[in-house]
Chains A and B, each alone.
Chain A
Amino acid sequence: MRHVPILRHGREYRSMDLAPAIHFKTRQPIAQISQANVGLIRRDLLLDQQRATDALAAFTTRELIALCARAGDLFLNDDLDNETPQQYVENVSATTGMPHALARGNMAKINSMCANMETVLAGLTRNVPLDVLDQGYINGDQPVSFYPRGQSLGVVLPSNSPGVHSLWIPSIALKTPLVLKPGSAEPWTPRRIINAFLKAGAPPEAFCYYPTDHAGANEILRLTGRGMLFGDIGAVKNWATDPRIELHGPGYSKVVIGEDCIDDWPTYIDTLAASIAANGGRSCVNASGVWVPRHADAIAAALSEKLSQIVPRASDDPQATLAPFATPATAHRIDATLQAGGLPSRIAEHDGCTYLLPTIVRCDSPDHPLANKEFLFPFASVLEVPQNAIPHILGPTLVVSAITSDKALIRRLLSSPQVGRLNIGALPTNAIRWDQPHEGNLFDHLYARRAFEMSVA
Chain B
Amino acid sequence: MTTQAARENLDAWTREIVAWHFSPETGAPFWLDYAAKLGWDPRKEIHVYNDLDKLGEFQDDWLRGGPVQRWIPRGYAGKPVYVFETGGSTGVPKSRISIDDFRIDYEHFSTTLPDSAFPKGADWAHIGPSGPRRLRLAIEHLCQHRGGVCFCVDLDPRWVIKLIKRGAMQEVELYKQHVIDQTLTILKANPNVKCLFITPKLLEALCEKVSLRKLGITGIFCGGTEMTPQWCRFAVEELLDGVAFHPTYGNTLMGLAVSRPLRAEENYAIVYYPPSPRAMIEIVDPDNTTQVVDYGQTGRVRLTTLTKEFFMPRFLERDEAERELPYEKYPWDGVKNVRPFRQLEKSVVEGVY
Contact = CB atoms under 8 A, between A and B. Distances in A.
Interface of A: 15-17, 35, 37-40, 42-43, 46, 158-161, 183, 218, 222, 230-235, 237-238, 248-251, 281-284, 286, 330, 333-334, 336-337, 373-376
B349 interface: yes
Contacts of B169: 218, 222, 238
Nearest to B268: A16
B230 A337 contact: no
Contact of A37 (B234, B347, B349, B353): B234
Contacts of A333: 348-349
Interface residues of B, number: 23
User: Closest 5 A-B residue pairs measured CB to CB?
Assistant: A250-B351, A16-B230, A158-B353, A17-B230, A39-B204
B45 interface: no
Contacts of A283: 352
Contact of A40 (B167, B238, B348, B350): B238
Nearest to A337: B348
Contacts of B268: 16
Interface in B310-353: 347-353
A232 B350 contact: yes
A37 B231 contact: yes
Interface string B272-287: 0000000000000000
A16 B348 contact: no
Given A37-B234, A330-B349, 12 more contacts: A16-B233, A35-B230, A37-B231, A40-B238, A160-B353, A238-B169, A249-B351, A249-B353, A250-B351, A281-B352, A333-B349, A376-B351
B267 interface: yes
A82 to B, nearest CB: 25
Given A16-B268, A222-B169, A238-B167, A375 B350 contact: yes
B261 to A, nearest CB: 16
B309 to A, nearest CB: 37
B267 A373 contact: no
B239 interface: yes
Interface in B29-88: none
Contacts of A230: 353
Contacts of B230: 15-17, 35, 37
B156 interface: no
B239 A232 contact: no
Nearest to B233: A16
21 contacts: A15-B230, A16-B268, A17-B229, A37-B230, A42-B204, A42-B208, A46-B208, A159-B353, A161-B352, A183-B353, A218-B169, A230-B353, A233-B351, A238-B169, A248-B353, A249-B351, A250-B351, A284-B353, A334-B348, A376-B351, A376-B352
Nearest to B204: A39
Given A39-B234, A39-B239, A40-B234, A374 B228 contact: no
Contact of B350 (A35, A284, A373): A373
A39 B202 CA distance: 10
A251 B231 CA distance: 37
A71 to B, nearest CB: 25
Given A16-B268, A17-B229, A43 B353 contact: no
B173 interface: yes
Given A37-B234, A43-B238, A222-B173, A17 B228 contact: yes
Nearest to B232: A16
Contacts of B348: 333-334, 336-337
Nearest to A334: B348
A250 B173 contact: no
A347 B314 CA distance: 43
A39 B231 contact: yes
Contacts of A218: 169
A400 B231 CA distance: 47
Given A37-B228, A42-B208, A282 B234 contact: no
B26 to A, nearest CB: 47
Contacts of A35: 230
Given A17-B228, A37-B234, A42-B204, A251 B352 contact: yes
Interface string B119-135: 00000000000000000
Contacts of B173: 222
Nearest to B167: A238
Contacts of A43: 208, 238-239
Pick from B204, B228, B229, B351 the residue with the most CB of A within 10 Å: B351
Contacts of A231: 351, 353
Nearest to B238: A43
Nearest to B353: A158
A233 B167 CA distance: 14
A215 B321 CA distance: 22
A39 B38 CA distance: 51
Interface in B98-157: none
B316 to A, nearest CB: 25
Contacts of B229: 16-17
B228 A232 contact: no
A127 to B, nearest CB: 32
Interface string B234-258: 1100110000000000000000000
A249 B353 CA distance: 7
A437 B164 CA distance: 34
Pick from B167, B267, B350 the residue with the most CB of A within 10 Å: B350
Nearest to A250: B351
Interface in B5-40: none
A238 B168 CA distance: 9
Contacts of B347: 234
B146 to A, nearest CB: 29
Contact of A232 (B231, B234, B349): B349
A283 B231 CA distance: 36
A250 B234 contact: no
Nearest to A239: B167
Contacts of A374: 350-352
Contacts of B239: 39, 43
B104 to A, nearest CB: 34
Contact of B352 (A38, A237, A286, A337): A286
A251 to B, nearest CB: 7
B228 A160 contact: no
Contacts of A248: 353
A15 B169 CA distance: 26
Nearest to A47: B208
Interface in B194-225: 204, 208
Nearest to A284: B352
Interface in B180-197: none
A191 to B, nearest CB: 19
Contacts of A250: 350-353
Nearest to B168: A238
Contacts of B204: 38-39, 42
A233 B350 contact: yes
A332 B85 CA distance: 41
A15 to B, nearest CB: 5
A364 B167 CA distance: 36
B231 A160 contact: no
Contacts of B352: 158, 160-161, 250-251, 281-284, 286, 374-376
A90 B352 CA distance: 21
